[in-house]
Amino acid sequence: NFAFGGMAAGKDQLSYLSIANVEQGHWLHWVYAFVVWYVVVVVQMTVYEAQAAFLPRRFKWLRTMPEPRSTTVLVENIPPEHRSDEELRKFFGEL
């Protein structure tokens, strides 16, 4: 920005190294746009790779977990009319 930005910051010395020092329509804006997209793509690929490595570990962990912990589901916000074992079983049987 200091060398190629066009000195749009004028006498504001604190802005010499920031994007405020790049003139409107300067080619340097395209460099920033491509760098941002590069970072977005690399981060997304890294997250997907980490998720792909994590899922087999999670599935293995779930398969080795003892019952009933491995087969338990937390259900919240049950309507008052379904707060008995019989009604809850009937409600989930109809889904």
CA distance 2 to 21: 7
pLDDT in the model for residue 43:
98
Tracing tokens 């912990």 back to the chain, one arrives at: 69
* pLDDT of res. 82: 82
C-alpha to C-alpha distance for 3 and 29, rounded to whole angstroms: 14
**3-state secondary structure (DSSP) of residue 32:** helix
More confident of the two residues 19 and 46? 46
> Residues 6 or more apart from 32 whose CB is under 8 A from it?
19
pLDDT, tens only, 27-79 = 888 888 999 999 999 999 999 999 999 999 999 998 998 988 888 888 888 88
How far apart, in Å, are the Cα atoms of 75 and each of 44, 65, 70, 84, 88? 32, 20, 15, 13, 10
SS (H, E, C) 7-21: CCCCCCHHHCCCHHH
